[in-house]
Chains A and B, each alone.
Chain A
């Protein structure tokens, strides 16, 4: 499949594969069709490939990062959500939520090596090369599985809380942090003993984490609350709530650790947040319903999995530092205008319903997707 650049944004003309706009502090490089509901991305730096976990397709799309083409699709267990790649062994790991397992793929042969059982509904994973550990958050099991990256043995299963998913590791303080979507909390464990040493209440819908160890800070996304919590890792307390775009879901720390990238599922953008000033430097448009986000260490480009448009965006953040003017969110041009006529099928009755059915009534259209 070839890279595409079709967008509804008139400044990004249909058929273009690249947008260069000197006024914008970002550049759209490509938007590549992958499988259904892509959520997680891992980068094979040496082979210039991205592995995209496509949860509704039950496979991983392998994207050539130079040609921007999908070169393989690798079947996994049901509903692969998160994904990681261990460069030392060349193994790719997917958290297969609906199969309660982690699939292990050989990144050289692109074949499945094996699958490991974990807890109920694994939805997040993080691997730490220096510890030779893979940590898996099991949402329904309310546990965290700890797997040896080399022997593939489960060395511990630790109690967490409902909705356990994303995991962060602070190598400086030797902390493992498991964030729990349903419980809206985070558990802090000693990396060696797995003993829980602290717990934090967070915002609603806690779902992603990034750590800046030299500052002793963690940034945790609260998707329903629409904030990012800044957590002091010495005192283990929330010191600030930072607002981002609509419905933030994913987060990654930039290689220079001067900014973080937060995907806004409700806005189709990536917020660039300064680590030191906690200000939103810019919002980069990507595909519809973005979630997983990583930075390609090779060229610093940002890779984003767009669940709504079933694509992976490649974009560049062109800001060298904080811009002089703050971000101003553009309001919809539809504000103050009449809702266009519509005729849509009623899920319950199968009948066509039109806007005339709600004439002279006040109402809210809530656009949603089940993923």
Chain B
């Protein structure tokens, strides 16, 4: 799911424009103050945090497509 951070302003209109532009319909959470991002030490966007079914973080960062695919493969034991 997407987590919107660091808009610097009211996030809803910005997220609406973003979803319209890219045709996004999936789950989106709003973290306007970036609290979760700060807790996790996120320093930039995009940052992907891959979470296993027991809540364990299996990959962090993975901004490149090949890195993300590798992380997903690993998550599913492929």
Contact = CB atoms under 8 A, between A and B. Distances in A.
Nearest to A344: B29
A369 B43 contact: no
A266 B39 contact: no
A289 B37 CA distance: 12
Interface in B29-54: 29-31, 34, 36-54
A365 B47 CA distance: 8
Nearest to B29: A344
Contacts of A355: 55
A225 B34 CA distance: 26
B contact patch SS: mixed
B76 A362 contact: yes
B44 A364 contact: no
Interface in A328-351: 331-340, 342, 344-348
A290 B4 CA distance: 17
A336 B30 CA distance: 25
A268 B56 CA distance: 24
Given A290-B44, A362-B53, A344 B60 contact: no
Contacts of A335: 57-60
A336 B54 CA distance: 11
Contacts of A37: 8
A347 B29 contact: yes
Given A335-B59, A339-B57, A369-B45, A363 B1 contact: yes
Which 9 interchain pairs have the tightest Cβ spacing? A268-B43, A332-B60, A347-B28, A370-B18, A246-B63, A226-B64, A266-B63, A344-B29, A266-B44
